[in-house]
Amino acid sequence: MQVLLQLGLSLVLLAPQYTTTAAAPSSQCQRQCGNVDIPYPFGIGVNCSLSKRFTINCTVQDGIHKPFRGDFEVLDISLTHATIRMLNYILGFCYNTSTRSMESVGRYGRRIQIRSGPSSPLRLSDARNKFTVIGCNALAFISDNDTGYQGLGVATCRDPLELVDGSCSGMGCSQTTIPNKIYNYEVGFSTFANTSRIWRFNRCSYAVLMEAAEFKFDVSYINTTKFNDTNAGRAPVVYDWAIRDVVRCDVARRNKTGTYACLSSNSKCVDSTNDQGYMCNCTHGYEGNPYLQDGCTDVNECNYNPCPSDGFCHNIIGEHWCSCRVGKRYVKQSNTCNPDTGFIIGVTMGLFGLMVFIVITIFWGQLIIQKRKLNKVKQEYFRQHGGLLLFDRMKSDKGLAFTVYSLAELIHATDNFDNSRILGKGGHGTVYKGIIKNMPIAVKRCALVDDRQKKEFGQEMLILSQINHKNIVKLLGCCLEVEVPILVYEFVPHGTLFELIHGKNHALQISFNTLLRIAHEAAEGLCFLHSYASPPIIHGDVKTSNILLDDNYMAKVSDFGASILAPSDKEQFVTMVQGTCGYLDPEYMQTCQLTEKSDVYSFGVILLEILTGQLPLKLKGSETQRSLSSIFLSAMKENNLDAVLVSHVKGEESMELLRGLADLAKKCLDMCGDNRPFMKEVADELNRLRKLSMHPWVRIDLEMDAESLLGGESTSGYEIELNGYPMGESENQPINPRSSYYAR
């Protein structure tokens, strides 16, 4: 007759419908029973577990506290793998020599039934358990009526000598896998198989569902009761556990109001692989209990030696990284520190390679040091030149159209100040053409300036930047990172008045009215610097090469950025000679005092160039014949103006106009500065003379002049052209080089 035992286990709890609650357990809850940790969601006692189905009983057995679920002793609980290990009872079936019949051995006889429900969090682990049968004539079964699963375990042998330790493939031992999703099962022996004929070397057979990793077949299990005696007739079995009230993680996440079990911020939800439900795990780089608030904490991976033994581990939040000592590099794929190829090459090359390395290291080190020194020098120059003052004013005056350029910007704009970009050179520096943001600019690298000018440079730049006059080249900005500041002006494309008078086309006759207009516009610009700038600005180097011509051939006074502000009483004297020979005020040569009248004298020389077409200074001839001003003043003294006038002007302009212009030049060239007119008076007189030249009684055939410059037929057979552009007389009218401005 078969024996049937039904177990009233904790797996068959008649508790209410299973639900989870996200409430955190009390800190007073017991978290250990004997030497076994009981982590949440499991717990001992009321309100210490996620639900009643996760409750563990801590009882005293043989004087020792041990955790139990029903009749099954708990060995350990894993949060990481979501498993619980318990001791399962071994089912024995032995031949009784006295009664000569098969009898059950152990607590439960020949058949074990374990009953649970689908709401239980536990499922038998199909990955970790195997149905194990031991014997030489053993036929055992395992079944689950809920799923319809049935399995058999058969172990046979004819002679103990055929058995091999560790082998469990049917000879004396067999192991059978089970499917997943099992929460009920029954184990028993068939009465058709008995050991009555082989009891002398195998009296007992055994069957148990147990953890496969904990079993290793021993030949002694066949002829002794050693297997049954292990753990008092018990063997470990593994259950997978999960939160079973929700099908999957996506459903659980949508239902976070009080029932979602993954409470830690660094946790993640994982679908159960053994029936429905989910578990919680800490994310990569974190460890702890994901079912508790802030339960997942950073893992110090370096404690587990994840890096090579000859490397270094660096822990960071959520992960780690490895490095190697000098001469080796870390290879992540193999987790090794391999020799650095560069280091091997260096060793192979020997001393030579080492020396090269040292030289390169020193070179780069010096380069870095020099770069740092250069940056410090740039900062010091910036401070010396008043850069801080400029920035403060630029911030406060938001409408101030002025830019402080970096040296790198200007180097890029001028192709590193390439010679092909040079527009001109002078006593105050070299001017280059540059391009910034598709806009042409003129970049002037100034010659050396004295300490006083360095200290006042920032203040002077603020003043100069605010000058806005149509006949003055606009100062756009500056660079203060160099010993001598670099100035940036608007680009004026059509050359200078010097080229118009003395350039490659100097032999051609130029419309006198054009030159008179340009002179008047230049005078207006200088008048603005002297009379309307605050404080007044003294140009110091007025000459025809510093009078530029724009697209409409309007005069623009340039190079005043290298000039000085009107000096105070304490700073009347300068140590360096200003200006250009031929234009230089003789009174300044005696007193070293630069005044507004010094600019007037230089402008008088410009008027002479217009009248005579000659250079202000000749290198040949006697001393009296070298200076144009001396030649002119001598001719005026002898009442012989006609001798110095350019030939084509004498035939085309009225002598009244020419004498008026000559008288103005004479006044400007007076040896005593106090006797010279102010620049405003010069501009007014030039304006009067221009009106005289345009008077209907004087102006003759202006339309014919315009037609000639625009490309019409010219009776004199020539036309004026500068840099490929014809010159204009006014804003919209061209100039005829053969115009006559006197009554015929």
Q: Who has greater pLDDT, 169 or 375? A: 169
pLDDT attached to residue 705: 40
pLDDT above 90 covers a percentage of the chain that reads 32
Q: Is the pLDDT of residue 565 over 80?
A: no
Please check whether the domain covering 385-491 is classified as CATH 3.40.50.1980.
no
**444 known member of a binding site:** yes
pLDDT attached to residue 44: 93
The whole model's pTM is what? 0.46
H or E element: which one contains 454?
helix 451-465
Residue 275 DSSP SS3: coil
* Strand spans (E) along 439-579: 439-446, 475-479, 486-490, 537-538, 547-549, 555-557, 564-565
Q: Who has greater pLDDT, 720 or 656? A: 656
Question: Residue 615's CB: how many other CB atoms inside 10 A?
Answer: 17
Q: Which two tokens stand for residue 103?
A: 């009898």
pLDDT attached to residue 280: 94
pLDDT attached to residue 454: 58
Q: Is the pLDDT of residue 307 over 70?
A: yes
* pLDDT tier at 254, thresholds 50, 70, 90: confident
* Active-site residue (options: 541, 559, 585, 599): 541
Cβ burial of 489 (10 Å; 0-12, 13-18, 19+) is buried
Tell me the average pLDDT across 366-375: 76
pLDDT attached to residue 40: 94
Report d(CA 365, CA 294) in Å as an integer.
49
* pLDDT tier at 393, thresholds 50, 70, 90: low
According to DSSP, the residues that pair with 55 across neighbouring strands are 43
Report d(CA 134, CA 154) in Å as an integer.
8
Express the helix, strand and coil content of the chain in percent, nearest 5 each. 30, 25, 45
**Using alpha carbons only, how large is the chain's radius of gyration in Å?**
54
DSSP secondary structure letters along 494-523? S-BHHHHHHSTTTTS---HHHHHHHHHHHH
Domain with CATH 3.30.200.20 in the chain: 385-491
Q: Who has greater pLDDT, 443 or 593? A: 443
Task: Of 12-16, 402-406, 455-459, 550-554, give the lowest mean pLDDT range.
Answer: 12-16
* Cβ within 8 Å of residue 25, ≥6 positions away: 40, 43, 47, 48, 49, 292
Q: Who has greater pLDDT, 282 or 26? A: 282
Sign of the CA dihedral 340, 341, 342, 346? positive
Tell me the average pLDDT across 195-200: 74
Question: Which 3-state string (H, E, C) describes 112-143?
Answer: EEECCCCCCCEEECCCCEEEEEECCEEEEEEE
pLDDT attached to residue 445: 83
Q: Which two tokens stand for residue 491?
A: 């680009």
Residue 178 DSSP SS3: coil
Q: Kindly report, residue by residue over 57-95, the tens digit of the pLDDT.
A: 999 988 899 999 988 999 999 999 999 999 999 998 888
- C-alpha of 603 from chain center: 56
Report d(CA 711, CA 721) in Å as an integer.
11
pLDDT attached to residue 23: 62
How far separated are the first and last CA of the chain, in Å rounded? 156
Residue type, 495: G
Tell me how many degrees the CA angle 264-269-273 measures, rounded to the nearest 5. 145
Q: Is the pLDDT of residue 694 over 90?
A: no
Report d(CA 613, CA 372) in Å as an integer.
54
Tell me how many degrees the CA angle 314-316-318 measures, rounded to the nearest 5. 130
Sign of the CA dihedral 627, 629, 635, 637? negative
Report d(CA 88, CA 70) in Å as an integer.
12
Tell me the average pLDDT across 527-554: 87
Tell me how many degrees the CA angle 246-249-253 measures, rounded to the nearest 5. 90
pLDDT attached to residue 129: 96
Q: Give yes or no for a contact between 77 and 84, defined as CB atoms under 8 angstroms apart.
A: yes
DSSP secondary structure letters along 382-436? HHHTTHHHHHHHHHH-TT---EE--HHHHHHHTTTT-GGGEEEEETTEEEEEEEE
Task: Of 72-81, 493-502, 566-575, give the lowest mean pLDDT range.
Answer: 566-575
Residue 56 DSSP SS3: coil
- C-alpha of 656 from chain center: 73
Q: Is 397 an active-site residue?
A: no
Q: Is the pLDDT of residue 461 over 90?
A: no
Q: Give yes or no for a contact between 514 and 735, defined as CB atoms under 8 angstroms apart.
A: yes
Q: Kindly report, residue by residue over 153-195, the tens digit of the pLDDT.
A: 999 998 888 899 999 999 999 999 999 999 888 898 887 777 7
Domain with CATH 1.10.510.10 in the chain: 493-744
H or E element: which one contains 152?
strand 149-156
Best-predicted range by mean pLDDT (19-28, 502-511, 622-631) = 622-631
Range list of H helices, 537-696: 586-591, 596-612, 623-626, 628-637, 647-652, 655-668, 679-693
Cβ burial of 157 (10 Å; 0-12, 13-18, 19+) is buried
pLDDT attached to residue 325: 85
- C-alpha of 104 from chain center: 78
Report d(CA 238, CA 373) in Å as an integer.
72
Tell me the average pLDDT across 693-711: 44
Report d(CA 245, CA 695) in Å as an integer.
109
Top-level class of domain 493-744:
mainly alpha
Question: Residue 235's CB: how many other CB atoms inside 10 A?
Answer: 20
Whole-angstrom CA distances from 290 to 7, 32, 266 are: 34, 18, 8
* pLDDT tier at 727, thresholds 50, 70, 90: very low
Report d(CA 635, CA 620) in Å as an integer.
19
Q: Is the pLDDT of residue 685 over 80?
A: yes
pLDDT attached to residue 223: 84
DSSP secondary structure letters along 180-233? SS---EEEEE-TT---TTSTTT--EEEEEEEEGGG----THHHHSSHHHHGGGT
Q: Give yes or no for a contact between 668 and 677, defined as CB atoms under 8 angstroms apart.
A: yes
pLDDT above 70 covers a percentage of the chain that reads 77
